[in-house]
Structure 1
């Protein structure tokens, strides 16, 4: 299988929205120049092999605020590195994707995939993602049909905040109804400390179990989709949350290299971000006394170095409230998968292993002797 290497280019450090949960607390008017981008690309692809696949992701702020740079980069790569398999994507709020940008994306759809952030229904989206200036609806500023029809199996990233949690199931179902795969996630780096959130989440998850039971062929949203078999795997001494710093890196507008955008100056500020320049987390190890190191769910846990840093200030320590939210989602996803496997009448070895893993998840979730960051009783 081809190895995929991802590097992110932070085209600018600004945005036209003022999202309530945004983790980029140090925005500026800094824009990446083509000369800086060219140097990064040449360095990253200098030893590239034609058998490997590379992905350049444009990030912001809102990346399309620097659309001229994006066009220039794509043209440069396709001209100089035409013998390589290089693809492009961008994480966008969609509000600027009109006119020339839309036409250009259609022309380059074979190599460019814009990823849309869409936080559920219009009401939910506008609560979470207001414009920085003016009172217009950012939801209404998105050509949703364009993103839906540009590629097969389009994805929409839906971020859930405490303000939209009570509408979570409705929002996920709405995203599905539009024809998107729903990449639903919880906002990180914010305060989830409220028992009301747990009760609300349980009700929302129960609604989603019924929804996916009634729609067995629908791809389950990301927050409920896991490789459940991994709970059967032994713990790994040199545990890694992800490929940040190794198979994935990010470059700020000045060309400095970071593990991912979560450690760049736009997120942490220049003083704190400086600590992570060139970091690849190869020396990362859990303290043996760490609760996370002892947790059976560690191989399933959807947290990451950057989320932990934003929530607790420590790349290896997860937020206790997020721990509980994620555990509830793992259990819910396991229940949905159980119903689907039982109804499929599949008796393969892979299915039997998955059912064994689901049984383990059920037992561990309610194991009174298990130690978690948040031991709030759940049912």
Structure 2
């Protein structure tokens, strides 16, 4: 399915101070309802050829602007859009109580995703002691198909398996991603990560009813795709981010609440980018399996394609763990693949295990 994503930063404010937040230049600025609706209308009208449009209501913490969300949602219900449109709010959950819950239950066209990092100890350490401020049952009961977003941070890496298993025990699917702008190259960090992945593999093998977290969702078929044009998100081509003032960016990581009010790095002409690969990764086997954030790359290096090399061994460890997990699933007859998919998967397993057996 071809999807266009419209990201609206409703506010730069947040009621938490998460340890890994990459938005270091927050202000009290907010987006007007008119700016939001005009942006939505403009980009939906420019979305011919897409199967769906997703409108992400973003922050800061978007529910600080609940009245704006309500007006957008109430307006959207009255529209007859030319293609399917999905509205999504990414929240820390602390404000989703009372009137907000009541309104969401009456507006099922608004989907909500929760950020939750694991056990109370881990979550509170990362996210301003906010675990008990979240009505977890509300999210489990009303958005069962929506994974929670767990951010992996260095200080809590040694409890990664406990954290993800805790989230599963609450009834959640889990999307886990690494904190950006952190040095992940420390040997002790890599050793801990490898150990935690092994624990998670054992957990998923023993609990086949649990949908594995995103750390074990490696798409092996990407391994052999053309690297030059392989991208990790809709950045620039299928995505637009609108800041509180209505200015447009290729993604939210280019906005001033991340880059600062006067970024020194000029934006390139992305329409002329013919190669999205990093030249330093040209000989890396798993380059196509290695996620990257073009906005953070640009902020740190001045080049959207220059990746954070401190993540290299972490990504290799992930790839190796995925091959071990996939091999065990195949051995247990729990993975059904077509002939061509099976052949490519087995080849990828062999190639990765041969290349990274010494990690």
Provide the TM-score with structure 2 as the length reference: 0.92
Task: Tell me, yes or no, if structure 1 residue 122 matches structure 2 residue 120.
Answer: yes
Matches within 5 A, 1:74-89: 74-82=73-81, 84-89=83-88
Q: Are the aligned partners of 2:5 and 2:55 in contact in 1 as well (CA < 8 Å)?
A: yes
Q: Are the aligned partners of 2:93 and 2:115 in contact in 1 as well (CA < 8 Å)?
A: yes
Shift of 1:54: 1.1
Q: Are the aligned partners of 1:311 and 1:318 in contact in 2 as well (CA < 8 Å)?
A: no
1 CA distance for matches of 2:178 and 2:331? 29
Worse-superposed segment, 302-311 or 201-210 = 302-311
Aligned counterpart, 1:299: 288
1 CA distance for matches of 2:130 and 2:167? 16
Shift of 1:284: 5.2
CA deviations over 1:172-210 (Å, ceiling 9, x no partner)? 111111111111111111233422111111111111121
Shift of 1:307: 3.7
Distance 1:38 1:227, change over 3 A: same
Aligned counterpart, 2:273: 283
Q: Quick one: which of 325, 329, 340 aligns to 1:336?
A: 325
Matches within 5 A, 1:118-267: 118-130=116-128, 137-233=129-225, 235-267=226-258
**Aligned length, in residue pairs:** 357
Q: Are the aligned partners of 2:235 and 2:250 in contact in 1 as well (CA < 8 Å)?
A: yes
1 CA distance for matches of 2:45 and 2:84? 14
Q: Are the aligned partners of 2:9 and 2:244 in contact in 1 as well (CA < 8 Å)?
A: yes
Q: Are the aligned partners of 1:50 and 1:83 in contact in 2 as well (CA < 8 Å)?
A: no
Shift of 1:342: 2.1
Worse-superposed segment, 241-250 or 94-103 = 241-250
2 CA distance for matches of 1:274 and 1:297? 29
Distance 1:355 1:270, change over 3 A: same
Q: Are the aligned partners of 2:190 and 2:314 in contact in 1 as well (CA < 8 Å)?
A: yes
Q: Quick one: which of 313, 322, 326 aligns to 2:315?
A: 326
Q: Are the aligned partners of 1:216 and 1:340 in contact in 2 as well (CA < 8 Å)?
A: no
Provide the TM-score with structure 1 as the length reference: 0.88
CA-atom RMSD, angstroms? 2.2
Shift of 1:236: 3.2
Gaps of 5+ in 2: none
Shift of 1:321: 2.0
2 CA distance for matches of 1:57 and 1:126? 26
Distance 1:179 1:282, change over 3 A: farther
Q: Quick one: which of 339, 342, 349 aligns to 1:358?
A: 349
Aligned counterpart, 1:371: none
Distance 1:312 1:275, change over 3 A: closer
Distance 1:276 1:92, change over 3 A: farther
Task: Tell me, yes or no, if structure 1 residue 316 matches structure 2 residue 305.
Answer: yes
Worse-superposed segment, 315-324 or 56-65 = 315-324
Distance 1:251 1:273, change over 3 A: farther
Worse-superposed segment, 187-196 or 171-180 = 187-196
2 CA distance for matches of 1:169 and 1:307? 27
- Residue 189 of structure 1 aligns to a residue whose secondary structure is coil
